[in-house]
Chain A
Amino acid sequence: MGLLISKLAHYNQAQKKQNKTKNGTPKVPSSQLSTLNSFSHSLLKFTARRTPTSYQMETTQTTEGGGGGATGIAAQMEVEAFRRLFPLPFYKRHLLESVRPDARALDYARDTTISLGPVASADGSALVKIGETAMLAAIKLEVMTPSKERPDEGSIVVEFYMPPICSPMVRPGRPAEVAPVISKQLLDVIRSSGMVNLKELCLISGKASWIAYLDIYCLNADGSLFDAALLSAVAAFTHLQIPLVSVTEEGRVFTVSSEQEEKTKFELVNKEKRKLSLSSIPFPLTCVIHEDYILVDPTAEEETVMETSITLVLDTLGNLVSIYKPGGVGLASTEIMKECITRTKRRMQELKTILEESVSVMEVD
Chain B
Amino acid sequence: MEYVNPLTGLRIDGRRPTEMRHLKAQIGVVSKADGSALFEMGNTRVIAAVYGPREVQNRGQQMNNNEALVRCEYSMANFSTGDRARKPKGDRRSTEISLVIRQTMEACILTKLMPRSQIDIFVQVLQADGGTRSACINAATLALADAGIPMRDIVTSCSAGYLCTMPLLDLNYAEDSAGGPDVTVGILAKMDKVTLLQMDAKLPLDTFETVMQLAIEGCKAIAQYIREIMLQNTKQLECRRGS
Q: With the chains together, A49 CA to B107 CA distance in Å?
A: 54
In the complex, chain B residues whose CB is within 8 Å of the CB of A23: 148
- B58 at the A/B interface (Cβ < 8 Å)? yes
In the complex, chain A residues whose CB is within 8 Å of the CB of B241: 21, 27, 29, 68
Within 8 A of B (CB), among A168-227: 168, 171-173, 213, 215, 217, 219-222
Q: How many residues of A contact B (CB 8 A)?
A: 52
In the complex, chain A residues whose CB is within 8 Å of the CB of B31: 12, 15-16, 132, 220, 222
A5 to B124, Cβ gap below 8 A?
no
B38 to A9, Cβ gap below 8 A?
yes
Q: With the chains together, A6 CA to B31 CA distance in Å?
A: 13
**Majority SS at the chain A contact face:** mixed
A2-B24, A68-B242 known; A121 and B82 CB under 8 Å?
Answer: yes
A120-B127, A142-B84, A165-B122 known; A9 and B26 CB under 8 Å?
Answer: yes
Within 8 A of B (CB), among A13-42: 13-18, 21-24, 27, 29-30
Q: With the chains together, A217 CA to B73 CA distance in Å?
A: 16
Measured CB to CB, the closest approach of chain B to A10, in angstroms, equals 9
Partner of B29, one of A9, A168, A171, A172: A9
In the complex, chain B residues whose CB is within 8 Å of the CB of A64: none
Partner of B78, one of A30, A159, A300: A159
Q: With the chains together, A138 CA to B45 CA distance in Å?
A: 15
Question: Which residue of B49, B79, B241 has the most chain A CB atoms within 10 A of its CB atom?
Answer: B79
Partner of A138, one of B40, B77, B120: B77
B242 to A30, Cβ gap below 8 A?
yes
- B81 at the A/B interface (Cβ < 8 Å)? yes
- A276 at the A/B interface (Cβ < 8 Å)? no
B26 to A215, Cβ gap below 8 A?
no
- B64 at the A/B interface (Cβ < 8 Å)? no
Inter-chain CB contacts under 8 Å: number: 124
- B101 at the A/B interface (Cβ < 8 Å)? no
B49 to A164, Cβ gap below 8 A?
yes
Output the nearest chain B residue to A118 by Cβ-Cβ distance.
Answer: B126
Q: How many residues of B contact A (CB 8 A)?
A: 45
- B80 at the A/B interface (Cβ < 8 Å)? yes
Measured CB to CB, the closest approach of chain A to B39, in angstroms, equals 11
A163 to B122, Cβ gap below 8 A?
yes
B47 to A122, Cβ gap below 8 A?
no
B88 to A161, Cβ gap below 8 A?
yes
- A45 at the A/B interface (Cβ < 8 Å)? no
B29 to A119, Cβ gap below 8 A?
no
Within 8 A of A (CB), among B62-83: 71, 73, 75, 77-82
In the complex, chain A residues whose CB is within 8 Å of the CB of B148: 22-24
B120 to A164, Cβ gap below 8 A?
yes
- A247 at the A/B interface (Cβ < 8 Å)? no
Binding site for B on A (CB under 8 A): 1-2, 5-6, 8-9, 12-18, 21-24, 27, 29-30, 67-68, 119-122, 125, 132, 134, 136, 138, 140, 142, 159, 161, 163-168, 171-173, 213, 215, 217, 219-222, 300
> A166-B32, A222-B32 known; 15 other A-B pairs, CB under 8 Å?
A9-B29, A13-B236, A27-B240, A30-B242, A119-B126, A120-B43, A132-B32, A134-B30, A138-B77, A159-B78, A165-B36, A168-B54, A219-B47, A220-B29, A220-B32
Binding site for A on B (CB under 8 A): 24, 26-33, 36, 38, 40, 43, 45, 47-49, 51, 54, 57-58, 71, 73, 75, 77-82, 84, 88, 120, 122-124, 126-127, 148, 236-237, 240-243
